[in-house]
Structure 1
Amino acid sequence: MMTSHSAPASVSVDLRPVRRALLSVTDKTGLVEFAKALAGHGVELVSTGGTSKALRDAGLNVKDISELTGFPEMLDGRVKTLHPKVHGGILHMRGNPEHVAAVQSHGIEPIDMVVVNLYAFEKTAQKPGVAFADVIENIDIGGPSMVRSAAKNFEDVAIVTQVADYAALAEELSANSGSLSRATRWRLAKQAFAVTAAYDAGIATALESIEAPEGKAVFVQDALPQTLRVIDPLSQTLRYGENPHQKAALYVDGSGKGVAAGEQLQGKELSYNNIVDLDACWELVSEFDAASDAAVAIIKHTNPCGASTGATVLEAYKRALEADPVSAFGGVIGINREVDAEAAEEIAKLFVEAIVAPSFTPEAVARFAAKKNLRLVKITSADTPRVLKQVSGGVLVQDADRLRITEAELRLVTERRPTAEEMRALLFAWRVCKHVKSNAIVYARFSEGHGQTVGIGAGQMSRVDAARFGAMKAVLPLKGSVAASDAFFPFADGLETVANAGATAVIQPGGSVRDAEVIEAANRLGVAMAFTGVRHFRHG
């Protein structure tokens, strides 16, 4: 019999019978079915509070925890499992004669399985207007203690923290006459320590952001954490990273939202680059209110090659494709509305890698089904407050760039003011420019009541080169377009370049020591110009 505390050898099976199980769960999904499976193998069920009631209501024989310990639950349930007869029953090593003698002398009964999931602390902490006392009360003490005890003694005890494990464990118990293998117990133990680590990290992060610890819990939303805690579980391993020689995997934050939690309806497995591009195009189309405008962005290598709004998804798609049909080949498409059959029919004519949208009609899915490799991803929008970027030796953290500019916030600095149509085009171009790698210049127009990109200069080392490249990429006429620059023009040459390309109005942050020179050039060229007072650098 194994008595070592060292890491187990993977070749050992070493079955352990389950004769007594302690169940205490917040999430009671699948509880009754799993408990019945345990009882079917003659396992004695011991339970607490609401879990005990749920099992009794289902007709199962259950021993109360107070009957096991000989001590009543007290302090409104704060003390019920924190007892030597619980932790001694879990922690004693069955192969250690001194341990066995000690528990026998104190009348402690072995507990071979612990089934626990923890108080929903984060759900409580996220409730609007939650009382501080409720936040504190939902910090589980007994649960994590039992989880850690059982996980530490995995050689003899199985710790079950995930509802998703119930079915497989029931099958293994049936296959092994009521016993579980050492490999399974070790897997469950590792999983359990990850659960308690994430739980404690969630508590520490939430409490760190509470400003006034009395009455209503006041959370400081813009406070950067004193300690960065990222404990996201593995969702899937990917075929490779940006290149075939790089390993990669996807981890999720548990919110069930965003691209990471998107539901793939069809197509090949998503690649690392697919996911990065899907996130980029979803972020862009999310700039536009779906109730007012359908928005479509076609992305290549995280940069938009075409973006447009329209009255319908079909209209927005056609206009986005029209902006740069060559670059769109093999791209990724983001759409901010449900995709219908009419739009699907048109989109299916182009080779694209993936499409992300909030939903697809059954008819649209049926139309795309013929393109078996095309990935369709259904997404629930997520509010991501922070952006993380790993650098050698550490991690950079910043607030997500959620700033939006309205017409009223612009400072018009030229003799000629933008026309109403130019103003709408400027605001559209500014939103798109925010999602283009720096240095960025976006040429756009506003026609038929909607915005459309005309040419995009992305990721250039010189702002003049970005202006030239955007003009060079233009398929549609640049005459009468507007231009957006993600940062100020340091010299007049950039402004002159976009004006010579055909732009009649410009939106830029302003703030250069040569602003007067740039404004003078705009007045000389008859270009209307607006300053935002903010920039949108996007370095990656």
Structure 2
Amino acid sequence: MSKKRALLSVSDKTGLLDFAKGLVAAGYELISTGGTATYLKDAGLEVLDVASVTGFPEILEGRVKTLHPAIHGGLLAKRDSDLHREQVSQNQIDYIDLVCVNLYPFEETVKKAGVTEAEVIENIDIGGPSMLRSAAKNHQDVTVVCDVADYPAVLAELAENGQVSAATRRRLAIKVYHRTAAYDAAIARYFDQVDHLVPDILTLSYKLEDSLRYGENPHQKAWHYVSDQAESYTLQSATQLHGKQMSYNNLQDASAALDILNEFQGQTACVVLKHMNPCGVALGANVKEAFDKAYEADPVSIFGGIVAINGVVDLATAERLHAIFLEIILAEGYEAEALDLLKKKKNLRLYQIPQGGNLA
């Protein structure tokens, strides 16, 4: 089996060892950098250091290591081009057939308490996005992997066919452009917030959370995307305890109910909502009183609606809720007997929201 080359350079080493072993079994020679190379060598794998490929040492505290023609020429060279083959040969460049890179954890770094700007800046990845984009641009010849979740699929294709299919290479390349765009958006957003800037171009990034049962109408498809940024009072941070999958309309209604509930932080409040319109909003000395008041505001429209509560649902309140047809209940908690009672309704969606403050 002829040797191919795979370049591995990751911050998140989840699943890396098994992936690397699978690549070796598929006939790949491994190239790696810094901590990733050390990690693989310590596990007993044979690894070629990037410096031995480039003929140039890692410098500037690792800021410069893969930004070299021996790396990017090996990634970008078109295998079916006579000119490219000639220039690769003239410059003694070897092809790199697979790149596995996940980026410095910029998004996680900026969320750390007390993080300094110097730490933030050091977590802006330069070489990683460059290699990903080079490999993605040349996905006709190169496999690029930026997500741990794709390791098994790549290894499965290599084991079955000896190569990664063109369709998979294209899918992974497209994924790279989404990832690098989101990464750059996070960096821009950080500096916008620190310097209180209003950008000329607003870049937003959302991650797929779930597929929905259907869209606004039953024949339509819909997906739920979430932001990793602090937004108002979102369903993203709630935990589903019971019930069937959400539809688009369910999601819209639940989000609207939580937005209203967010106006009453620190108070015992209940919001009853249906089709994006509040049927009743009330405060109470306790959860049951708040619900009773909200219910009395419109006891007809609540049918098939959503109830959101700043508080813990007790059995007495659960008995009132159980007697009504509802789509969703969102609350800070449920007493054990209350939860058992509400779970008797198979399709009733029950969510727990974080206590005492903004969900985001």
1:266 alignment partner, one of 212, 235, 242: 242
Q: Secondary structure at the match of 2:224?
A: strand
Q: For the residues of structure 1 that align with 2:335 and 2:30, how far apart are their CA atoms?
A: 47
Q: Following superposition of structure 1 onto structure 2, how do residues 284-299 of structure 1 map, counting pairs within 5 Å? A: 284-289=260-265, 293-299=267-273
**What's the CA shift for 1:259?**
1.2
Q: Secondary structure at the match of 2:200?
A: coil
Partner residue, 2:12: 27
Change over 3 Å in CA distance of 1:303–1:38 after alignment to 2: same
- Could you tell me whether the CA contact under 8 Å between 2:262 and 2:358 is conserved in 1? no
- Could you tell me whether the CA contact under 8 Å between 1:18 and 1:112 is conserved in 2? no
- Could you tell me whether the CA contact under 8 Å between 1:18 and 1:113 is conserved in 2? no
The reply on whether 1:122 has 2:96 as its aligned counterpart is no
Q: For the residues of structure 1 that align with 2:140 and 2:341, how far apart are their CA atoms?
A: 54
Partner residue, 2:26: 41
Q: Following superposition of structure 1 onto structure 2, how do residues 419-430 of structure 1 map, counting pairs within 5 Å? A: none
Partner residue, 1:183: 167
Partner residue, 1:196: 180
Change over 3 Å in CA distance of 1:307–1:169 after alignment to 2: same
Q: Which runs of 5+ in 2 are unaligned?
A: none
The reply on whether 1:254 has 2:238 as its aligned counterpart is no
**What's the CA shift for 1:357?**
3.1
Q: Secondary structure at the match of 2:119?
A: helix
1:81 alignment partner, one of 55, 66, 71: 66
Amino acid paired to 1:183: A
The reply on whether 1:233 has 2:215 as its aligned counterpart is no
Q: For the residues of structure 2 that align with 1:270 and 1:263, how far apart are their CA atoms?
A: 13
Q: Deviations over 1:462-492 (max 9, x none)?
A: xxxxxxxxxxxxxxxxxxxxxxxxxxxxxxx
Partner residue, 1:308: 282
Q: For the residues of structure 1 that align with 2:277 and 2:61, how far apart are their CA atoms?
A: 56
The reply on whether 1:353 has 2:327 as its aligned counterpart is yes
2:349 alignment partner, one of 344, 364, 375: 375
Q: For the residues of structure 2 that align with 1:361 and 1:256, how far apart are their CA atoms?
A: 29
Normalised by the size of structure 2, how large is the TM-score?
0.87
- Could you tell me whether the CA contact under 8 Å between 2:7 and 2:96 is conserved in 1? yes
Amino acid paired to 1:50: G
Q: For the residues of structure 2 that align with 1:141 and 1:205, how far apart are their CA atoms?
A: 17
**What's the CA shift for 1:246?**
5.9
Amino acid paired to 1:111: I
Q: How many residues align?
A: 355
The reply on whether 1:65 has 2:50 as its aligned counterpart is yes
**What's the CA shift for 1:207?**
2.1
Q: Deviations over 1:431-450 (max 9, x none)?
A: xxxxxxxxxxxxxxxxxxxx
Q: Secondary structure at the match of 2:100?
A: strand
Q: Deviations over 1:23-79 (max 9, x none)?
A: 111222222232222233232221111212222233322222112222110010010
Q: For the residues of structure 1 that align with 2:339 and 2:24, how far apart are their CA atoms?
A: 45
Q: Secondary structure at the match of 1:337?
A: strand
2:147 alignment partner, one of 155, 162, 187: 162
**What's the CA shift for 1:312?**
4.7
Partner residue, 1:96: 81
**What's the CA shift for 1:352?**
0.5
Partner residue, 2:300: 326
Normalised by the size of structure 1, how large is the TM-score?
0.60
- Could you tell me whether the CA contact under 8 Å between 1:251 and 1:260 is conserved in 2? no
Q: For the residues of structure 2 that align with 1:28 and 1:283, how far apart are their CA atoms?
A: 38
Partner residue, 2:310: 336
Q: Secondary structure at the match of 1:286?
A: helix
**What's the CA shift for 1:309?**
3.8
Q: Deviations over 1:121-159 (max 9, x none)?
A: 233334455433333222211011000000001011111
Q: For the residues of structure 2 that align with 1:40 and 1:344, how far apart are their CA atoms?
A: 58
Q: Deviations over 1:197-218 (max 9, x none)?
A: 111222223223333xxxxxxx
Amino acid paired to 1:203: I
**What's the CA shift for 1:224?**
3.9
- Could you tell me whether the CA contact under 8 Å between 1:296 and 1:336 is conserved in 2? yes
- Could you tell me whether the CA contact under 8 Å between 1:26 and 1:119 is conserved in 2? yes
Q: For the residues of structure 2 that align with 1:369 and 1:171, how far apart are their CA atoms?
A: 41
Partner residue, 1:131: 116
- Could you tell me whether the CA contact under 8 Å between 1:88 and 1:108 is conserved in 2? yes
Partner residue, 1:147: 132
Q: For the residues of structure 2 that align with 1:312 and 1:174, how far apart are their CA atoms?
A: 61
- Could you tell me whether the CA contact under 8 Å between 2:5 and 2:29 is conserved in 1? yes
Q: For the residues of structure 1 that align with 2:149 and 2:333, how far apart are their CA atoms?
A: 27
Q: Which runs of 5+ in 1 are unaligned?
A: 1-16, 212-219, 385-540
**What's the CA shift for 1:326?**
1.9
Partner residue, 1:206: 190
Greater helix share, 1 or 2? Answer: 2
Q: For the residues of structure 1 that align with 2:10 and 2:335, how far apart are their CA atoms?
A: 39
Q: For the residues of structure 1 that align with 2:229 and 2:79, how far apart are their CA atoms?
A: 40
Amino acid paired to 1:188: L
Q: Deviations over 1:230-281 (max 9, x none)?
A: 2323434445443457664322113598314544343333122211111121
